[in-house]
Chains A and B, each alone.
Chain A
Amino acid sequence: MIEIHQLNKSYGTNEVLKAITLRFEEGKVYGIVGENGAGKTTLFRCIAEMEAYKGTITASKTPLKDYLGLLLTEPFFFSKITGREYLQLLCNARSVEETNFDERNIFDLPLGQYASTYSTGMKKKLAILGLLLQGNTYFIFDEPFNGVDIQSNMIITEIILKLKALNKTVLISSHIFSTLKDTCDEIHLLKNGQFEEAVQKEQFHELEAAMKDVSIGNKIDQLGLK
């Protein structure tokens, strides 16, 4: 469980998150959606304790960051580190003894190659694999499906469902609505630094329609395509 109470975050005079209060339960998958700049990444960074903030964030396991697997939108890799070494580094960081990386390499990544030479999708898969090997309790996946091929997207969806079954708490941000529909129990809509509404699974199709309406409206007609 992660509980956020009256979370405020500002950069100078720019208020990015405003009095956010929210509770993420165990064994549930939460989708966080919002337009670019709505504050999703800032929220994730606050939960990960990478940012100073006002308010409180508590968790059933503390310190929260030591049980958190954080997938960044664009994971960074050193120029001359192999996939296998990256996994080793992540395991070492959490004192996890893992020797058989090849067996657990379900994405068939070329672990002997430099990670920096991987494609965008491969990098994302490597980053996800690393977080899974760490045996985390909480997961934040910021755009886990971006740039990943369709087969791996299916695997990632199944992984998220498995994490849910294992009673983990998972937060996902994605711009691909269908992926959220397949994995989430609840979707929270973040707008201007505040959560506007929480939508349960049975109302996802209404949310999708509403989002389409707001985002697209008559913009396509405005293009005047002939």
Chain B
Amino acid sequence: MYFQLQFKLLNRRFKELGFEPWFAYVLILLTLMTVVHQSFERYSFAPYVFVALYMLLQVNLGNQKRIDFLKTVFTSRKFRRIRLLENALMALPFMIEFIVYQKWIALASLGLTTILLALINVKISHQKTLPTPFSKRPFEFSVGFRSAFLLLIACYILMGIGLYVDNFNLGMFSILALFVVCMGFYTQPEEEFYVWIHHHSTSTFLFSKVKTALMNASLLSAPLVLILLGFYPMNGGYIALFVLITFVFMIAVVLAKYAAYPNEIQLIQVFFLGISIPAPFLLLLFIPLFYNQATNRLKSYLK
């Protein structure tokens, strides 16, 4: 019953976005298949990108209000079964891709993440204040850091494992995962009051949002980047290029958020971001597009 309701809600959402549900499913499937194929062909660490993407989707599913609601409505046994099943459903398309392309380590990581993330939320305390280095420029990173604290720790642990087993790709993946988690901080639109209060122009507002995102993401990722550089100095150029591309993605995600504001990021923006994964140069087209859309969307809130 719960999943039937979720299915209905999802279909309704697609309709609100202007898509027939069947078309949206086919579009998502085709995009995923194309992106996976292209990425797997080009990058050896691509499977881990999808594990990170899955983790990002999980950050949304694991939000505390939703968890509290489920806990209130269902018995603890049913609650855990629902969490496991919804995580597994979310993981299914990725799992199929990993099996088809025989990416067994990524498949195992995904399976483990699916189970762990279904259980972790049960135990997280959300009352105690977790200090963050972002208090001077709230809110995305201070809220996001606290919500995804365990995922950020996991990224640092992954880097440790990567260095221990001398796997450069795993180190790169840990940096990527961290950036993906940071991008996740920008997936939900804030209440209009929090845009309205700014006395900035739309361009200054967007510039300030992008600047804060890049500065804070740099702060979180700097230790990982520096450690990896220290262990693999010969790959310095590669690491620098990689970090540069993730920065450009970060800019695109921040702008995409406001391009859809006050709604959530739309399917079309997700699609543009998705096809940019195997071809990052496309962002040079999409960033100005998102910027223009964001400027138009914010006009009614900022002068």
Spell out A's residues near B (CB within 8 Å): 48-50, 52, 63, 65-66, 70, 72, 75-76, 78-82, 84-86, 88-90, 92-95, 112-114, 117
A93 and B199 within 8 A (CB): yes
B135 to chain A: closest residue by CB: A85
Q: Which residues of chain B come closer than 8 Å to A66, judged between CB atoms?
A: 199, 303
- Given known A65-B303, A85-B138, contact A80–B147 (CB-CB < 8 A): yes
B138 and A88 within 8 A (CB): yes
A117 and B127 within 8 A (CB): yes
Pick from B45-53, B190-198, B218-226, B269-277 the stretch touching chain A.
Answer: B190-198
| B136 at interface by CB-CB < 8 Å | yes
Q: List 30 A-B contacts (CB under 8 A).
A: A50-B192, A52-B300, A66-B199, A66-B303, A70-B193, A72-B193, A76-B191, A76-B193, A78-B143, A79-B63, A79-B65, A79-B147, A80-B126, A80-B146, A81-B138, A81-B142, A82-B129, A82-B135, A82-B142, A85-B138, A85-B139, A88-B136, A88-B137, A89-B139, A89-B194, A90-B197, A92-B138, A93-B198, A113-B129, A114-B129
Question: Could you tell me the distance in whole angstroms from the C-beta of B185 to the nearest C-beta in chain A?
Answer: 11
Question: Could you tell me the distance in whole angstroms from the C-beta of A34 to the nearest C-beta in chain B?
Answer: 22
Q: How far is the CA of A103 from the CA of B47 in the complex (A)?
A: 52
Chain B, 53-89, contact with A by CB distance < 8 Å: what is the 0/1 string?
0000000000111000000000000000000000000
* 9 more A-B residue pairs beyond the given contacts A82-B135, A89-B138, A93-B197, with a C-beta to C-beta distance below 8 A: A50-B196, A66-B303, A78-B143, A79-B64, A80-B143, A81-B142, A94-B197, A94-B198, A113-B129
Q: How far is the CA of A90 from the CA of B130 in the complex (A)?
A: 21
- Pick the contact of B143 from A65, A79, A94, A113 — CB < 8 Å? A79
| B301 at interface by CB-CB < 8 Å | yes
A92 to chain B: closest residue by CB: B137
Q: Which residues of chain A come closer than 8 Å to B191, judged between CB atoms?
A: 76
Q: Which residues of chain A come closer than 8 Å to B143, judged between CB atoms?
A: 78-81
Which one of A49, A66, A85, A117 has the highest number of Cβ atoms from chain B below 10 Å of its Cβ?
A85
Q: How far is the CA of A37 from the CA of B221 in the complex (A)?
A: 50
Q: Which residues of chain A come closer than 8 Å to B127, judged between CB atoms?
A: 114, 117
Q: How far is the CA of A90 from the CA of B191 in the complex (A)?
A: 14
Spell out B's residues near A (CB within 8 Å): 63-65, 126-127, 129-130, 135-139, 142-143, 146-147, 190-194, 196-199, 300-301, 303
Q: How far is the CA of A84 from the CA of B139 in the complex (A)?
A: 11
Q: Which residues of chain B come closer than 8 Å to A49, judged between CB atoms?
A: 303
A79 and B126 within 8 A (CB): yes
Question: Could you tell me the distance in whole angstroms from the C-beta of A193 to the nearest C-beta in chain B?
Answer: 22
- Given known A72-B193, A81-B142, A88-B138, contact A50–B129 (CB-CB < 8 A): no
Question: Could you tell me the distance in whole angstroms from the C-beta of B254 to the nearest C-beta in chain A?
Answer: 17
B300 to chain A: closest residue by CB: A52
Q: Which residues of chain A come closer than 8 Å to B193, judged between CB atoms?
A: 70, 72, 75-76
Q: Which residues of chain A come closer than 8 Å to B135, judged between CB atoms?
A: 82, 84-85, 88
Question: Could you tell me the distance in whole angstroms from the C-beta of A220 to the nearest C-beta in chain B?
Answer: 38
Question: Could you tell me the distance in whole angstroms from the C-beta of A97 to the nearest C-beta in chain B?
Answer: 11
Q: How far is the CA of A70 from the CA of B63 in the complex (A)?
A: 29
Q: Which residues of chain B come closer than 8 Å to A95, judged between CB atoms?
A: 199
Q: How far is the CA of A117 from the CA of B127 in the complex (A)?
A: 7
Q: Which residues of chain A come closer than 8 Å to B197, judged between CB atoms?
A: 90, 93-94
Q: Which residues of chain B come closer than 8 Å to A113, judged between CB atoms?
A: 129
Q: Which residues of chain A come closer than 8 Å to B126, judged between CB atoms?
A: 79-80, 114
B197 to chain A: closest residue by CB: A93
Q: Which residues of chain B come closer than 8 Å to A78, judged between CB atoms?
A: 139, 143, 190
Q: Which residues of chain A come closer than 8 Å to B63, judged between CB atoms?
A: 79
Question: Could you tell me the distance in whole angstroms from the C-beta of A169 to the nearest C-beta in chain B?
Answer: 18
Q: Which residues of chain A come closer than 8 Å to B136, judged between CB atoms?
A: 88
A80 to chain B: closest residue by CB: B146
Question: Could you tell me the distance in whole angstroms from the C-beta of B271 to the nearest C-beta in chain A?
Answer: 28
Q: Which residues of chain A come closer than 8 Å to B139, judged between CB atoms?
A: 78, 81, 85, 89
Q: Which residues of chain A come closer than 8 Å to B142, judged between CB atoms?
A: 80-82, 85
Q: How far is the CA of A180 from the CA of B301 in the complex (A)?
A: 30
Q: Which 6 A-B pairs have the closest CB atoms?
A: A66-B199, A85-B138, A80-B146, A93-B197, A63-B303, A93-B198
Q: How far is the CA of A78 from the CA of B134 in the complex (A)?
A: 15
Q: How far is the CA of A48 from the CA of B197 in the complex (A)?
A: 10
Question: Could you tell me the distance in whole angstroms from the C-beta of A92 to the nearest C-beta in chain B?
Answer: 7
A94 and B199 within 8 A (CB): yes
